[in-house]
Amino acid sequence: MKINQVSTASFLDQKPGTSGLRKKVTVFQQAHYLENFVQSIFDSLTIPAGAILVLGGDGRYYNSVAIQTIIKMAAANGFAKVMVGQGGILSTPAASHVIRLYKTFGGLILSASHNPGGKDGDFGIKYNVSNGSPASETITEAVFALSKKITTYKIADLPDVDLNVLGETQFDEFNVSVFNPVMDYADLMATLFDFEAIKSLLASGFKMKFDGMHAVTGPYAKEIFLNRLQASADALMNCDPSEDFGGGHPDPNLTYAEDLVKIMYAGAQSPDFGAASDGDGDRNMILGKGFFVTPSDSLALIAANAKLVQGYEGGIAGVARSMPTSGAVDRVAEQLGIPCFETPTGWKFFGNLMDAGKVTICGEESFGTSSSHVREKDGLWAVLFWLNILAIKRQSVDQIVKRHWVQFGRNVYSRHDYEAIPNDAANSVIAHIHSRFATLPNQVFGGHIVKSCDDFSYTDPIDGSESTKQGIRILFTDGSRIVFRLSGTGTEGATLRVYLEAFEPDSANHHLDAQVALSVMIEIALQISELKARTGRNTPTVIT
């Protein structure tokens, strides 16, 4: 096996964000761009003899081309074996499971998650470590540092591997194994959830609709819902993956999953339960008949009902949420007498807590929920958890949520996303709010008194690592809060997220639409941030 040393020049824009490096496809198609980043990842690692690398992605455009390159670079950099999902397909949670199940050295996941695909869309790549978790900031910072000074990369002179044929291909001491990307994950789900109870629910006249958004979860949904749970074929929509996600935007929210939302809000004929997952399968949206479940509420409900589900009937050790996520799960943890951890955004922050046995269930308001069965958020897992709860309680989605609010109170919550803002304008908003830190406390806005404001920082309770500047918090004396945060998942301009939360203990007010109930907080956020004047945006791109 011939190994080539290829001369290259560094790129200065390869800093990984919240979940790896995401750029336009055309950026990754530049000569040496992909190779430089992959080599920088490999150079940041000490690769042992016999190391196995898991590889796959969400099937977006450039996925198959990148996989062939990475296989050859893995061979040149000392890996003994690459396990690649058939057709290059592998959902993010399934990749985490495979890494853990087969005790591999780690994995490369090729995805830009919920971002658009196609020739003019986005592409991404991230490294997950041997516990299945996204690489820590220590590793990603090391990768970025190496990417700025790289001069050569290594690549083996090998033919392309047929990714559509299951089996192994041997090249001297190097092996490529093309495996079924669905079965191991589906088998895991069957150990966590009562498939017989869910089958009984689906056979009772209960109607569901799952939207795969032409993304990676399509094959998983067909195996689990059709083959194992015997749902009717019309329970699935958009479950054939495509390189451009059917021309859509594979983000499961009320804006981009518009077709599913219309079906679920069509009146009496709507299905009883609706759900969607995103590009790489780690996000989820839950809907009832004419009813949207916020991700924060979904996390709290899953934690509150965990003992009803066979994989968690022994109880859960603790819960964790990202800082911008509402405090709904905190109230559940308090009643259950278990710890609740508040972390920065990014699933990598949950990995240490899970490995230490501190938490079982975690979630982020950005439509991500999961448990210690993997080290990633998991869209289909959340959908199955809801179906399991529905199969046992035999109540409607809205009944379950509203009864939860009666017991725990309602954390009224919403997120307003302002996408593709010029970076200078977005940074101006953040800098302006920072400049007001000293004067905001004790000021009154719309009857709400500012208690404190800060830029959230986090010290990992397991390894002591510190993360700073994780989002601006403005906290009010009545428990309300506003959070401002620049997202690290976009590829064009900046995405400014504004999170709004107020606690409502009175069930007489639980019927209010979140935007109505939060109208005063929305005006306060705009007043404090001067967002409209500084960005020229009068309305958010997405409201969830």
Residue 221 burial (C-beta neighbours within 10 Å; 0-12, 13-18, 19+): buried
Cβ–Cβ contacts within 10 Å for residue 167, how many?
Answer: 11
User: Is 495:420 a contact under the CB 8 Å cutoff?
Assistant: yes
Q: What residue type is assigned to position 475 of the chain?
A: L
Report residue 32 CA to chain centroid gap: 28
Best CA proximity match to 369, nearest among 273, 303, 311: 303
Cβ–Cβ contacts within 10 Å for residue 140, how many?
Answer: 23
Distance CA 390, CA 392 (A): 5
User: Per-residue b/e over 410-432, b at no fewer than 16 CB within 10 Å?
Assistant: bbbbbbbbbbebeeebbebbbee
Strands in 236-237's sheet, in edge-to-edge order, are 236-237, 208-211, 273-277, 284-288, 291-293
Pairing label, strands 81-89, 174-179: parallel
Residue 12 burial (C-beta neighbours within 10 Å; 0-12, 13-18, 19+): exposed
Positions annotated as catalytic residues are: 113
What is the SS3 assignment for 478? Answer: coil
Q: What is the DSSP letter of 224?
A: I
Strands in 319-322's sheet, in edge-to-edge order, are 340-343, 319-322, 361-364, 368-371
Beta bridge partners of residue 453, listed in sequence order: 474
Distance CA 237, CA 226 (A): 12
Q: What residue type is assigned to position 327 of the chain?
A: G
Cβ–Cβ contacts within 10 Å for residue 152, how many?
Answer: 12
User: Is 481:306 a contact under the CB 8 Å cutoff?
Assistant: no
Best CA proximity match to 73, nearest among 118, 121, 124, 39: 39
Strands in 444-445's sheet, in edge-to-edge order, are 444-445, 448-455, 472-476, 481-486, 494-504, 410-421, 542-543
Residue 245 burial (C-beta neighbours within 10 Å; 0-12, 13-18, 19+): buried
Beta bridge partners of residue 208, listed in sequence order: 273
User: Is 92:132 a contact under the CB 8 Å cutoff?
Assistant: no
Distance CA 515, CA 413 (A): 9
